[in-house]
Amino acid sequence: MKKINILSCIIMSLLSLSSCKSNNTLQTVKQVDLNKYSGKWYEIAAYPQWFEKGCSNTTATYTAKDGYIEVFNSSIKKNKINNIKGKAFVVKGSDNTKLKVQFFFPFKGNYWIIDLADDYSWAVVSDPKKKTLWILSRTPTIELPIYDKIIQNIIQKGFDLTKLKKTDQSLNINLK
């Protein structure tokens, strides 16, 4: 009888853990209009990735093409312009909220739009495991009340803010 109770407890514990995990699934926005999303975005803050180490003035420009989105990332690294082109492909059935981005064949990364202003003035992008995070804006700076709102949304989604670093956009600000 004890073995059955212990087994029952273990099964119930595993079920409760798995149900907690499924409730923590990262949600995307409901839908994205790719024509409105296209254009230039400035990186306001991010979980720095290995390929962004030492970069400033980071931007991403998205251009809708036939069957994919052209991605053009630009930054300054060691006082030199650092550019890379890639492609993004919409994940079927996602209403354009989930993309697979490819800079080097055959590797693709998840690009999930998890928060987006109604007027497409800012966006938040991550991946299903929350290992990446980018706060993007149409301008090199973002108003503090809007940034605070974004941060509160990120906290509610369970992101670790200690990993979030603001991006230096001083060159882009001076060019305006």
Q: Is 27 within the bounds of a domain?
A: no
pTM of the predicted protein model = 0.83
The number of domains in the chain is 1
Return the pLDDT at 54. 86
In a domain, 3, yes or no: no
- What pLDDT, in 10s, does the model give residues 124-169? 999 999 999 999 999 999 999 999 999 999 999 999 999 999 999 9
pLDDT, one tens digit per residue, over 89-119 is 999 999 999 999 999 888 999 999 999 999 9
CATH number, residue 101: 2.40.128.20
Asked whether residue 48 is domain-assigned, the answer is yes
pLDDT score for 35: 95
Contacts by 72-75 with C-beta closer than 8 Å and gap 24+?
A: none
In a domain, 8, yes or no: no
Residue 175 pLDDT greater than 60, yes or no? no
Domain extent for 170: 36-175
Domain assignment present for residue 1? The answer is no
End-to-end CA distance of the chain: 75
**Is 17 among the domain residues?**
no
How much is the pLDDT for 22?
37
Whether residue 12 lies inside any domain: the answer is: no
Q: Burial level of 140, CB count in 10 A (0-12/13-18/19+)?
A: buried
Give a yes or no: residue 31 inside a domain. no
pLDDT tens-digit profile of 10-47? 333 333 333 334 346 899 999 999 999 999 999 999 99
Q: What's residue 174's pLDDT?
A: 62
pLDDT for the residue 53: 84
Question: How many H-runs (helices) and E-runs (strands) does the chain carry?
Answer: 4, 9
